[in-house]
Structure 1
Amino acid sequence: MSAAVSRNRLPIAATAGLLLGAAIMVTPLVWTLLLSFKSNAELMRDSATAFSAPYTLENYRSILVGSSVSRWLLNSLIVSLGTTAGVLILCSLAGYAFARLDFPFRRTLFVFVLLGLAVPEQAVILPRHQFFALLGLHNSYPGLILPGLVAPFGVFFMTQYFRAIPRDLDEAAMLDGASRFTLFWKVLLPLTIPAQATLGVFTFLGSWNDYWWPLISATTSDRFTLTVGLASAQMNYAQTSGLGFLMAQAVFASIPILIVYIIFQKQIVRAMAGTAVR
């Protein structure tokens, strides 16, 4: 009897622990959201007023009308979407080549690509900076996008996904007269949509949240991404409109990420489940 009671209590304890962990993680987000709806003048007196009315949309109106956040948001969208599109194209082609084609030094090249996972970005930042300065690409969209196209994990991920697709499809398509490109474009690529959605979401989030390279490459405010722009506003706090305005900027910056995850969450689950099964 006592053993049965103990077994019944385990799911309850696990659920309670998960709820506690979720509450701890959500609390800073709720606090930020509440502060973003408060008057800056009121928050200067006491930030505890975030839990009581009145609330206002003035901070969000200021973002859309009179601040540089809209420009920074556009820059982040251009860089993140450009990086994501480039990574999906290059990694899909490389993954198909490594998984389905036979060419000299294929295994050696694949190992060389995987070695990129072991090289931290900080180790190559100096030669990268000098190289982009030599080409005159700093303070430009190509200068912000091109480094993100180097994605060893994306190549590995797509290679493994292509390898999991039965080769019988290749033989059947070849017997029907399909070329290599037709086989890739019309037969195999549609089967990798869950993997592409997952890789695309991870790439978009990584590019959207990237701070290190945009901080180095973008030195003028009109090329700041959202992360660099918000950081510059927070470092010059005395020159900003106040705490509520900063919190509104943070909430505004997180909206595109939330939208992307909501749209592609099913594909992410399908890709992860498919990888686990295979």
Structure 2
Amino acid sequence: MAAGSMVGRTLSDRLILVAVIVLGIVMVAPIVWALGLSLKTNAELMVDTSSVLHAPYTLQNYWDLVIGSPVFRWFVNSMIVSLGMTIGVLVLSSLAGYGFARLEFPGRDIIFVLVLFGLAVPEQAVIIPRHQLFSELGLHNTYIGLILPGLSTSFGVFLMTQYFRAIPREVDEAAMLDNATRFQVFWRVLLPMTLPAQATLGIYTFLHAWNDYWWPLISGTNAQMYTVTVGIASTQINFAESAGLGFLMAQAIFAALPILIVYVFFQKYIVRAVSGGAT
């Protein structure tokens, strides 16, 4: 009986492994295909895109990207916006989460519910008043105008609030017995314990900001203020008028590098946060 259950478990484990491998191939295949396209000449791809399956390959598209493409300017814009939004969200969400989890003040629960209502409001529903407000303030085509809307994240406040609530209050009391101020308790004791949640929130915010297309398209109308997503989209009016399929894929691969780097370096924090570790 035990042997039969062991065989069944082994078979199910193998089936799960096969399914994971197949799904992994399906997800990676478009990236590999784009990389292959970026290593072929544009003239060759105009004749037959299946030529990506065989040599010769070239780095000419990447060289053209280095010497004559505005993609570096778009890259810097995206980096400034993404890092600014990530830092802002982490600071504001941590402070708000600590306040909702640890402080007593009138209307706290009502305000928290109102914050959670933000999860149900799609960005498109407020785009017109936001556009009018930023126009009146002269914030379009500025880094501040691209960053500010992303700082109001209900998800970040909710995540940090729940994480702070999961930390026993005895930790605060022990620190205060050592004459620590409330800010010192927050900064030196509790905040380091929320590192997994902050890493997860930071990665989520960075990826969202880097891949965002909707608001940068509306606010950044000047080509000098394009982010990577808007800039690359502007180069592909249609297939025939684009700068070349291989060159376009080289831009896409270059734009995706920060996403890969962030994931590789911070993956362990995502795993720790999902597993519920607080240290």
The two structures have a TM-score, normalised by structure 2, of 0.95
The 5 Å alignment of 1:139-158 reads 139-158=141-160
Which residue in 2 is equivalent to 1:18? 20
Structure 2 residue corresponding to 1:179, chosen from 155, 178, 181: 181
Which residue in 1 is equivalent to 2:80? 78
Which residue in 1 is equivalent to 2:105? 103
Distance 2:8 2:159 in 1: 42
Task: Answer yes or no: is 1:266 the counterpart of 2:268.
Answer: yes
**AA aligned opposite 1:34:** G
Distance 1:255 1:136 in 2: 33
C-alpha deviation, 1:237, in angstroms: 4.2
Aligned residue-pair number: 276
C-alpha deviation, 1:9, in angstroms: 2.1
Distance 1:127 1:173 in 2: 46
Which residue in 1 is equivalent to 2:164? 162
Change (3 A) 1:135 1:11: same
**AA aligned opposite 2:157:** V
Distance 1:186 1:9 in 2: 49
Q: After TM superposition, what 4+ stretches of structure 1 lie above 3 angstroms from structure 2? A: 1-8, 236-240
C-alpha deviation, 1:65, in angstroms: 1.4
SS in 2 for 1:56: coil
**AA aligned opposite 1:84:** T
Which residue in 2 is equivalent to 1:242? 244
Question: Is the contact made by 2:85 and 2:150 (CA closer than 8 Å) also made in structure 1?
Answer: yes
SS in 1 for 2:82: helix
Could you tell me which runs of 5 or more consecutive residues in structure 2 were left unpaired when the two chains were aligned: none
**AA aligned opposite 1:152:** S
Which residue in 1 is equivalent to 2:192? 190
Distance 1:14 1:258 in 2: 26
**AA aligned opposite 1:74:** V
What percent identity do the matched residue pairs reach? Answer: 62
Change (3 A) 1:171 1:7: closer
* CA deviation profile, 1:212-244 (whole Å, cap 9, x unmatched): 000000111100000001111122544433110
Distance 2:19 2:189 in 1: 45
CA RMSD in angstroms comes to: 1.5
C-alpha deviation, 1:149, in angstroms: 0.2
* CA deviation profile, 1:5-52 (whole Å, cap 9, x unmatched): 544322222222221111111111111110010111111111111011
**AA aligned opposite 2:62:** Y
**AA aligned opposite 1:100:** R
Distance 2:270 2:17 in 1: 24
Could you tell me which runs of 5 or more consecutive residues in structure 1 were left unpaired when the two chains were aligned: none
